[in-house]
Amino acid sequence: MNKKYFDVHAPVFWPASILIIIFIVITLSVGKPMEQVFNNIQHFITDKTGWLFIISINAFIVFCFYLGFSKYGSVKLGGKNAETEFSTSSWFAMLFSAGMGIGLLFWGVAEPVSHYASPPYGQGYTIESATRAMNLTFLHWGFHAWAIYAIVALSLAFFTYNRKLPLTIRSVFYPILGERIHSWIGDVIDVMAVLATLFGLATSLGLGVKQVNGGLSFLFDIPNSTTTQVLLIAGITGIATISVFSGIDKGVKLLSEWNVRIAGILLIFILIVGPSLFIFRSLVQNLGNYINEIITVSTWTEAYRDNGWQGDWTIFYWAWWVSWSPFVGMFIARVSRGRTIREFIFGVLLVPALLTFLWLTAMGGGAIFLDLQNEGHELAKNIIADEATALFVYLNQFPLKTIGSMVGVLLVISFFVTSSDSGSLVIDSITAGGKLDAPVGQRIFWALSEGGVAAVLLVGGGLTALQTAAITTGLPFLIVLLIMVYSLHKGLQKEYARNQALKEELNKKSYEKNLNQVIQKTLQKRQEK
């Protein structure tokens, strides 16, 4: 194969590509009945393994805080002389764009209002259900989600920059497998990572294009249909393939910064024309409730009254974040060289999460506030009637609604392009054996593949298919993450011990040097006498 356009690691590239093609062919061949197949798979996984997701995600966040406060916090990614490649503001912008992006735009209004109208228990459309809605939404988008990303990103960054291993998922298992990471076992791990990344990303892209279609339909009466969404995927994926040529330093960085700027403009617009005082007051209260009840809500398993709510929401989110973690983790690792582990942990966990909480309060919380003023609850009913148009229904409550909605559509498209571009870079790196600068042709191939899978999922089962893809690939990769925690800890133990031994050696040499200088000065003084 011509390495000018393709330079792949065959044992990973071909199995992953073939499995993706098989999935596409089966889904298109079966057609409409695939929707029920996806639905059955989703319910089986959430019913039987939901408890495992809940235990694991809680373990991840505990492990992250342990690392942040431990002696390992001073370890620098890339060694003590490593320098950061991006400014802190650019770093945060790329974290936020890669980690949440399209998902927040799609669910930022729809999810809190859904929980407010149809809570897992208790009566809907009440102040109590409003409070619970924000608490549950903070749980799904807060520290737990970012802890998953932090573990994968930190593991990849550490073993790549400190141990000089390729930037692929297999490298994380070096403390356990040793040189066997270069064998078939490593290939299997990387193939799993590619599939998890592709289907997790396709889920986000599918949600994004449904929202773009919803916005265009809301603004210009463009048909809100699967055909329109497939055409939109084709068009936006085309833009993403053009962006691929610019690479991470220009294209992704520039788009990420503009994403945050545009999102900031939209947020400021809401703060100015919306219920400003309520947003700031409720943000404080929402944070307090979230922190106060985080243990209770994060360990709730619906054991005593299982009505399927948790499987459709919490378990879906945990699986979605897990399936997306190779993509987001590898991307964060790419841009985090030179950060200490303590700076990395609290940077990844706290800053994006706090920005997310402000967004959710302004969007979802603001919508709930407006609906509470209306006894008929028409706003909430219109929002939950179609999640894809929720943002635009909300923006329609304010002045300059057309401009606001157009900015919303532009923002979704921009996040779509950024996610596709970043995902192409990540999958390309895995299938190229960890190469950081593989040929552009490969990234174009994966950009087209991501769009193709998203289109097939929409054709084969809509939102249910998107959710099932995330959950199905998230389950096996959850096991990989659990092993990753052990492997990272083992690697950090060795790194810390090596640094301490080096420090002691340097101190010893410094002591001996100083001692020799003292002896020489003493002898010199004696000779002078």
Delimit the domains of the chain by residue range.
10-67+91-473
For residue 340, what are the β-bridge partners? 76
Fold of the domain spanning 10-67+91-473: Amino acid/polyamine transporter I (1.20.1740)
The dihedral built from the CA positions of residue 79, 83, 89 and 90, taken in this order, carries a sign that is negative
CB 431 within 8 A of CB 8: yes
Nearest to 115 by CA among 141, 137, 139: 137
| Chain CA centroid to CA 80, Å | 28
Instruction: Please classify residue 288 by burial: count the beta carbons closer than 10 Å to its beta carbon, then call 0-12 exposed, 13-18 middle and 19+ buried.
Output: exposed
Query: Residue 430's pLDDT is what?
Result: 86
Rounded Cα–Cα distance for residues 376 and 254 (Å): 45
- Please report, in tens digits, the pLDDT of each residue of the chain (529 residues total): 445 556 778 899 899 889 888 887 887 787 677 777 777 887 788 888 899 999 999 999 999 999 999 999 989 999 888 888 888 888 887 777 666 667 788 899 999 999 999 999 899 999 999 999 999 999 999 999 999 999 999 999 999 999 999 888 999 999 999 999 999 999 999 998 888 878 777 777 787 888 888 888 888 888 888 889 889 888 888 877 777 666 555 656 677 778 778 888 899 999 999 999 999 999 999 999 999 999 999 999 988 877 789 988 999 899 888 988 887 888 889 889 999 999 999 999 988 899 899 999 999 999 999 999 988 899 999 999 988 899 999 999 998 888 888 888 888 888 778 777 777 778 888 888 877 666 677 778 888 888 888 888 777 766 667 667 777 778 888 999 999 999 999 999 988 888 788 777 777 777 667 767 767 777 676 666 5
Q: What gap in Å lies between CA 498 and CA 528, rounded to an integer?
A: 45
- Residue pair 304/400 in contact (Cβ under 8 Å)? The answer is no
Q: What is the spatial distance between Cα 68 and Cα 57, in angstroms, rounded to a whole number?
A: 17
Burial of 402 (0-12, 13-18, 19+ CB in 10 A): exposed
Phi/psi at 76 (5° precision):
-100, 135
pTM above 0.75, yes or no: yes
